[in-house]
Amino acid sequence: MEGIVSLRPSTPRVSFHFPKFPSSRCSIPSILRSPMADQRICIRAQQSDSKDVSSTLSPFNESEENALKIKEWEVGRFRDEIASSQGIRIRRRPPTGPPLHYVGPFEFRIENEGNTPRNILEEIVWNKDVEVSHMKEKKPLFSLKKALDNAPPARDFVGALRASNLRTGLPGLIAEVKKASPSRGVLRENFDPVEIAQAYEKGGAACLSVLTDQKYFQGSFENLEAIRNAGVKCPLLCKEFIIDAWQIYYARTKGADAILLIAAILPDLDIKYMTKICKMLGLAALVEVRLVHNEQEMDRILGIDGVELIGINNRDLETFKVDISNTKKLLEGKRGQMICEKDIVIVGESGLFTPADIAYVQESGVKAVLVGESIVKKSDPAKGITELFGKDISCNFQ
Ligand SMILES: O=C(O)c1ccccc1NCC(=O)[C@H](O)[C@H](O)COP(=O)(O)O
């Protein structure tokens, strides 16, 4: 069996051929997986589902393994080059020098950039890469098929935000179920995700955001599933660091109605591909731009067809400083016009604490806000919502 990985971004087309996988279920390095390769692997895995083929296929010999390592390293470099040409500084994995038998240009052979992440986002991505590889091995895509087929239809996340905005005249609220964060540590000791979600719903939240990252936010997919199964009606955003399409399918099986795509870590081709998967699954994609370098990120996202929800994160993920004034700058002029023409819903995210903050971002043009800390810390999160907006926005109050 021969595998092909085709990388087809705007840069020249490159195809790598590599020989003989020991089994279609074997651990193919995820760095070799382009969207197309993912699909092929999935199809092969489905084809081989009924019979165990591993015994009939031979493992790599040593020279094949060396060749594979070199290709893997070259693809990694190529991918980082594409990302950096789009202004993406977050690297997917810790940089390594080339493999032992690499015979390419000398400057690559002596290169060693060290393996310290440049900031918290990069650290999170490096950990996520390892975590996702393990999860994929445990639950390959084909094994999620049944759960996907049986999942109830996704709820209309964007529609709920628009309806809330029309009903209250205020930005629709995405209330975040957030136990802890790298910038603030533990926000709430006595943390019952379902209770908090129900309080948010009662307080007038249009949608909920559920953090599923364990290591940095003390979240989990169990929380997402429990909230979904507890009868909460608000559409749910799976707040995860998505670096691989597999995570989108997994989120769907756990009850997500929307997922987050972070422009600072995903090249355009990934965002396009992942947005299409979301459409196929009926999920909304919240595409997020950061506080720093956000003009370039915003322009990239506005150039991608099918994006209907953009988040502007007010937190600088390198220094953790929060600044809501950039939102205004970013939504002025040509960009603001384009956003109106495309009817995109803008979400103001992070660092919103008072009615004045809400009014400020609303005047800048946001139709929705994503809020965690200021409401999750309140003993009664429903009341926290009323305090945040300066009025009762629950459905009982018109
Ligand atoms: O919150 C953090 O410290 C953080 C650090 C690194 C990456 C992401 C981070 N937060 C994710 C979020 O987007 C926020 O949880 C969300 O916007 C709510 O923010 P807040 O209302 O300030 O809790």
Tokens linked to 44:
């092969």
User: Residue ranges per domain, the chain?
Assistant: 2-116, 147-389
Question: H helices of 319-397, where?
Answer: 325-330, 333-341, 355-364, 373-376, 381-389
Q: What is the mean pLDDT of residues 165-181?
A: 97
pLDDT in tens, 85-121: 888 888 888 877 666 666 665 555 445 456 788 889 9
Whole-number Cα distances in Å, 149 to 132, 154, 258: 22, 12, 17
**33, pLDDT greater than 50:** no
Among 181, 357, 374, residue to substitute to test ligand 1 (most atoms within 8 Å of Cβ): 181
Q: How many CB atoms lie within 10 A of CB 130?
A: 11
CATH architecture of 147-389: Alpha-Beta Barrel (3.20)
pTM confidence score = 0.81
Which residues, judged by CB distance below 6 Å to any ligand atom, belong to the binding site of ligand 1? Answer: 120-121, 176, 178, 181-183, 313, 315, 317, 349-352, 370-374
Higher pLDDT, 273 or 2: 273
Residue 5 has pLDDT above 90, yes or no: no
| Smallest CA separation from ligand 1 atom 10, residue | 181
* Of 6 and 322, the one with more pLDDT: 322
pLDDT over threshold 80, residue 191: yes
Decide if pLDDT at 397 tops 70: no
The Cβ-side half-sphere exposure at 88, using a 13 Å CA radius, reads 25
Report the residue count for the chain.
Answer: 398
3-state secondary structure of 46: helix
Per-residue model confidence as pLDDT tens digits over 331-355:
999 999 999 999 999 999 999 999 9
Largest CA distance in the chain: 71
User: How far apart (Å, rounded) are the C-alpha atoms in residues 101 and 383?
Assistant: 63
ipTM: 0.98
Task: Record the tokens describing residue 346, joined without a space.
Answer: 């803008």
Q: Which residue has the higher pLDDT, 329 or 11?
A: 329
| Nearest protein Cα to ligand 1, atom 6 | 317
**CB 336, CB 364: distance < 8 Å:** no
pLDDT greater than 70 at residue 375 = yes
The per-residue pLDDT for range 284-335, each reduced to its tens digit, is 999 999 876 688 999 999 999 999 999 999 998 778 889 998 888 889 999 9
CB of 24 closer than 8 Å to CB of 40: no
Share of the chain above pLDDT 90, in %: 63
326 CB neighbour count, 10 Å cutoff = 19
What is the Cα–Cα distance from 180 to 187, expressed in whole angstroms? Answer: 5
Q: How far apart are CA 101 and CA 116, in angstroms?
A: 25
